Structure 1
């Protein structure tokens, strides 16, 4: 395309040069592919969604378990293994430390 010095004057001049003397097809001659959107969710993501739904309806405090422990404490029948509790606390602490 050549633009002359005159305002509003545009003229078109095309030449094909090179060893192959044929022009490539224009973009208008190629039909565009139909546009479509698709979403694929992995099985892991589906499992996570189900787990989140279950957690959403699960109470933070398990009243039955708390009541059972209260009853054991009242009856002086609750005797936790101190070493097992300590090991659990250490494991929990180490697991949290690896996440940071």
Structure 2
């Protein structure tokens, strides 16, 4: 009986943590949506341009990052075959852009 109580208490604590994390995530998403809507309406006071793709889960941005990572991987795999400084420079620039937009 005591073991059942311990297991139930553990499950309860895990459930509470899950609910807290889920609630936090929901709050962040609501805040993000508010920011997006205010940006669209031009009501943000700072006047800085807002990259809406960065604020939402943009499929185009995700695909672009995926292709960029694949390109970097191919350049890395073939660098010994070509030994090109230009290709090495391109690979490094692409890697920098990928890290910069993470």
TM-score band, normalised by shorter chain: under 0.3
Whichever of the two has the greater Rg, that structure is 1
Q: Which has the higher helix share?
A: 2
TM-score, normalized by length of structure 2?
0.26
TM-score, normalized by length of structure 1?
0.26
